[in-house]
Structures are given as C-alpha cells and as structure tokens.
Structure 1
C-alpha cells in the first residue's frame, strides 16, 4: 500500500469542499469530532454519516453514504478496518473521488481494489494533520 505523495494529498485537500465523515460522533471528546470540527473551521463542509445521530457540528447527519443528497469530494472514515470492505462498496455507489481512512484504519485489499478502479485512496493518515502540514 503506497499512499499518494504529499503533493497529491495537498491537491486533494486544495480541491475539496465537502467531506463526508463516516463514524462522526456527536461526542465532543471523540477524535472524529475534534478532527471534523477543525476541518470545518478550516472551511470545509462536513457531512456527518452516523445512523444514531440527528445532527453533528450543526449539520444534518445521514445513516449511510447513499443517503447524502449531494456530491461529496472526500469520504473520511472513522470506523474500524473490518468495516472498510462494506464501506468501499457503498463509496463506489456515490461516485466520490477520494476514500480516506484515519490513523490505524487499513485494509490492503480495499486499497488495491479502489486504486485499480481509479479512485484516490489515502489510508492510515489523519486528515487534520495532513491539512495542517500542507496548508
């Protein structure tokens, strides 16, 4: 598994406006909340994907990626690695260009499958850290 270069990641972040965050918790102490809040403050639109929350960070939450009624530039995943196969299948259905998983969330088969299909895949990287380094 080889993530895109820092230059390619910078381009992804520069071109993105909307980030769907799978597993975004309404709990302000959770990493998913803190990272998403930082990205929201940096100017990105955050769309929460959490079947048990109605709203997170002032945005309506959706139970799944397929329920989001608008285009998404990045899907950022805060779920455990064993959920990536199912999430990747749903991701393909919404025609989003970038599949990004947070630290320690890795599935080599998903990485290979999605990159072979032409998607940009970034795994085991914190989007907030990358944004801070590259801005």
Structure 2
C-alpha cells in the first residue's frame, strides 16, 4: 500500500457518506456503522432520511457547512450519478477551501467522475471498499 495513502487512511476523522441508508441491510449502513464504531465521525447524505445512525442526515453535500472539516467523501450511488456527486464535492470544495479525498465504492466510479475530480485536483479512489482498506491500517 502506498505510504501516503496509508497515512491518509490512518488519519481520517470525518467521512461524508453519500447515499447512506438507514436500512441496516444496505452496504452503506454497514460501512457507516463500521466507521462510527472505529471513532470516525460520519456525515450521512441522503434526501430520504432526517437521521442515520443517530447523526443528522443531509439531503445534499451542498447543505454541509463549509467550516465542517471533511477528510473523505465516500460515494454509494449508482455509477450513472457519480459524476453529479463528484461535481457537488468539487463545488463544496471550492466553497470550503477543503480538498477531501473522493472515494467511490466497488462498481460506483465512472470515467467522467474521475476526470472531474482530477481536474479539480482532488484525490480519487475507485473500486475499493473504504471499510476493507481502513481495516488494513487500523
């Protein structure tokens, strides 16, 4: 594992979970719960819920205050929506001055999404499970 990548994973404090579900049988719920149980702050984003895992759930990334420190944005949306989600992260990043790592779960990435992230200078991970990768360094 790349040392810089390992260091980023070891130092995660806050993860925005886009597409986070309140359904305990969904992967996004399971991974958000894992992160929370491992001392990582989660910020759920899903317009269907007011709260997930006891945390306020936002309808959109745009609703997250610019002064909230975010290390990673983990995307659990179908690949057809990933570019739109990445564009929201890019816009939020410009507003907040932050450069969160964009993480796309297995089979969620798209070439357009990756290009948007790279053009904005944001690190982009595709086709990897955040829980599995974090577990390797935790």
TM-score for both structures, normalised by structure 2: 0.88
Report the more deviating stretch, 10-19 or 44-53. 10-19
Q: Which of residues 107, 110, 122 in structure 1 aligns to 2:110? A: 107
Does residue 59 of structure 2 align to residue 63 of structure 1? yes
In structure 2, runs of 5+ residues without a counterpart are 94-98
Counterparts in 2 of 1:58-97, with a 5 A limit?
A: 58-69=54-65, 70-95=68-93, 96-97=99-100
Root-mean-square deviation over aligned CA pairs: 1.3
Counterparts in 2 of 1:8-19, with a 5 A limit?
A: 8-19=4-15
Offset, 1:15: 2.5
Q: Which of residues 33, 38, 52 in structure 2 aligns to 1:37? A: 33
CA contact under 8 A between 2:83 and 2:116: conserved in structure 1?
Answer: no
Query: Aligned partners of 1:117 and 1:90: how far apart in 2?
Result: 12
Deviating above 3 A after TM superposition, structure 1's stretches of 4 or more consecutive aligned residues are none
> Cα deviation per residue 1:12-67 (whole Å; 9 max; x = unaligned)?
22222110000000001111101110011111000000101010011000000010
Q: Using CA pairs below 8 Å that are at least 6 residues apart, which structure has the higher relative contact order?
A: 1
In structure 1, runs of 5+ residues without a counterpart are none
Offset, 1:111: 1.2
Does residue 137 of structure 2 align to residue 134 of structure 1? yes
Query: Aligned partners of 1:72 and 1:94: how far apart in 2?
Result: 11
Cα separation, partners in 2 of 1:116 and 1:93, compared to 1, 3 Å: closer
